[in-house]
Amino acid sequence: MTSLLITNIGELVTWDSERPVLRDAALVVEHGKVTWFGDRTKAPDADAVRDVGGAAVIPGFVDSHTHLVFAGDRSAEFEARMSGRPYEAGGIRTTVAATRAATDEQLAANVARHLAQMRALGTTTVEIKSGYGLTVHDEARSLAVARQATEETTFLGAHVVPADIDVAGYVDLVTGPMLEACAPYARWIDVFCEDGAFGADESRTVLAAGAAAGLQPRVHANQLGPGPGVQVAAEAGAAAADHCTHLDDADVAALADTGVVAGLLPGVEFSTRSPYPDARRLIDAGVTVALATDCNPGSSYTSSMPFCIALAVREMGMTPLEALWSATKGGAFSLRRDDVGHLAVGAKADLVVLDAPSHVHLAYRPGVPLAAPLTS
Ligand code: NIG
Ligand code: FE
């Protein structure tokens, strides 16, 4: 079989510049790519036909920010937060200890389990960070595990400073032997630029060393409070500044002016019971917004992009269509990819069928498994 016609699509979201959303549509896939889409009644012949019975079809979700290489459990921290305890980034060290103690096989099995959950919920592209190893050996093997699962791998040795070393010594390690060991497995470099993690100058040093080793920058920015993260991301020409929960007007202007994508991660605010980022303010200022899960055992243990869409619509001022864009095309911008996150002609045929007539149901029916990849 070389061509497949998917027809009787009640609503087709392509993000094509002329016809981003179509009703009563059809689409043709050949050799894993979209070769035609349009009005159902004008569809060309194909070798096989699939009738989706009026369902909506959307691009697969692009989850541009996850920390899937980890071991251990931090549900007790979540339970304590729900009784009023604040989120503490120091909890990262608990996961570091469990991750160091795990074998490569255990880490890979954990990644595979979470990826299977993500795929079942409609995610077709995933970025995965290291950051729970924090030694040369444990960061490199974390990235080797991640690289088996995705091309979108990020070296986050600069996640927190381990207890047994000072900041300056650790930045030297991250930008020296650790970077050398990790760069072959990574496309991106990331730094947690935040009080209690890495300051502006340290973050600049980390990103510059990564860039010199061929890694493109992205930043954990302005998550727990105001700070320099967004400005550091803008200066570095980062693809994304992720979190963006605490922004001043200059931060918003910097994102809009430089085109750095603001990655919003509402699973964090849900799981830490904190105020959500103001997506409306960013969109109205012309900032490109991506939505991602930040899937990790501490601040956001969800693998569900539909859950993030529901939160973005209910809590962050996004329309259902904006949230879907940010979870697909916005994620693709964050990863500097033009082959995923949309279904225009030439795109990868990462099709997701909704058990619903329109994308609105993703937020209208939170917690319901409506999205599933089209299987051949
Ligand atoms: O993106 N901000 C830093 N890192 C993660 C949290 C990791 C953890 O708590 O284990 C985040 O929220
Ligand atoms: Fe993160």
Sequential DSSP letters for 54-100: T-EEEEPEEE--B-----S--HHHHHHHHTTPPP-GGGHHHHHHHHH
> In this structure, are residues 343 and 59 in contact, taking their beta carbons and an 8 Å threshold?
yes
pLDDT, average across residues 170-176: 98
Report the alpha-carbon distance of residue 133 to residue 336 in Å, rounded: 26
Cα dihedral sign, 222-224-226-232: negative
In ligand 1, which atom is closest to the CA atom of 297? 10
Percent of the chain with pLDDT over 90: 98
Closest residue by CA, ligand 1 atom 5:
299
Report how far residue 358's alpha carbon sits from residue 223's, in angstroms, rounded to the nearest whole number.
Answer: 33
Radius of gyration of the chain (CA): 20
Q: Is the pLDDT of residue 376 over 70?
A: no
> Sorting pLDDT into bands at 50, 70 and 90, what band is 88?
confident
What spacing in Å lies between the alpha carbon of 298 and ligand 1's midpoint?
Answer: 6
Which residue lies with its CA nearest to atom 11 of ligand 1? 299
Instruction: Supply the pTM of this predicted model.
Output: 0.98
Residues with beta carbon inside 6 Å of ligand 1?
67, 89, 91-92, 95, 192, 220, 223, 268, 294, 296-299
Give nearest CA residue, ligand 1 atom 3: 192
Atom of ligand 1 nearest to the CA of 91: 9
What count of other Cβ atoms lies within 10 Å of the Cβ of residue 213?
Answer: 16
**What are the backbone angles phi and psi of residue 202, rounded to the nearest 5°?**
-65, -40
Alpha helix ranges (H) inside the chain: 75-82, 92-101, 104-120, 136-149, 167-173, 179-182, 200-212, 229-236, 249-258, 266-272, 279-284, 305-315, 320-327, 329-334, 361-364
Please say whether the beta carbons of 249 and 226 come within 8 A.
no
Taking CA atoms, 194 is separated from 42, 161, 199, 333, in Å, by: 54, 12, 6, 24
Which of 66, 67, 134 is the pocket-test mutation for ligand 1 (most atoms within 8 Å of CB)? 67
Kindly state the average pLDDT of the residues 2-24: 97
* Protein residue closest via CA to atom 6 of ligand 1: 299
Ligand 1 mean position to 86 CA, how many Å?
14
Nearest atom, ligand 1, residue 94 CA: 10
Query: 301 CA distance to ligand 2 centroid (A)?
Result: 11
Residue that the structure tokens 């016609």 belong to: 5
Per-residue confidence band for 90, with pLDDT thresholds at 50, 70 and 90? confident
**Residues 66 and 24: beta-carbon distance below 8 Å:** no
Average predicted confidence (pLDDT) for the chain: 97
Atom of ligand 1 nearest to the CA of 74: 10
- Is the model's pLDDT at 326 over the cut of 90? yes
Question: How high is the pLDDT of residue 54?
Answer: 98
Separation of alpha carbons 124 and 301, rounded Å: 19
- Dist. CA 277 → ligand 1 center (Å): 16
Residue recorded with tokens 């989850």? 63
Identify the residue whose tokens are 């920390």.
67
Cβ neighbours for 362, distance < 8 A, ≥ 6 positions apart: 306, 309, 310, 320, 323, 324, 354, 356, 370, 371
Report the DSSP beta bridge partners of residue 77. none
Phi, psi of 199 (to 5 degrees): -80, 180
Does the pLDDT of residue 191 top 80, yes or no? yes
Instruction: Please state the separation of Cα 374 from the chain's center in Å.
Output: 21
272 CA to middle of ligand 2, Å?
13
Return the biggest CA–CA distance within the chain.
67
Q: Cα(17) to centroid of ligand 2, in Å?
A: 31
Given the CA of residue 89, which atom of ligand 1 is nearest to it? 9
Phi, psi of 21 (to 5 degrees): -135, 125
Q: 291 C-alpha to center of ligand 2: Å? A: 12
Q: How many CB atoms lie within 10 A of CB 292?
A: 30
| Atom number in ligand 1 closest to CA 298 | 9
Nearest CA to ligand 1 atom 1: 294
Which of 3-17, 44-58, 82-96 bottoms out in mean pLDDT, i.e. has the lowest?
A: 82-96
Q: Is residue 343 within 8 Å of 11, Cβ to Cβ?
A: no
CA–CA distance from 158 to each of 2, 10, 98, 115, 218 (Å)? 46, 46, 18, 24, 12
The answer on pLDDT for 1 being more than 90 is no
- In the chain, the percentage of residues whose pLDDT exceeds 70 is 99
191: which residues sit within 8 A by CB, 6+ positions away?
A: 156, 158, 197, 198, 202, 203, 206, 207, 219, 220
- Please give the backbone phi and psi of residue 8, each rounded to the nearest 5 degrees, phi first: 60, 45
- pLDDT value for 200: 98
Closest ligand 1 atom, CA of 156?
A: 4
User: How far is the centre of ligand 1, averaged over its atoms, from the C-alpha of 234 (Å)?
Assistant: 21
Strand partners, 372: 353
Q: How far apart are CA 59 and CA 357, in angstroms?
A: 15
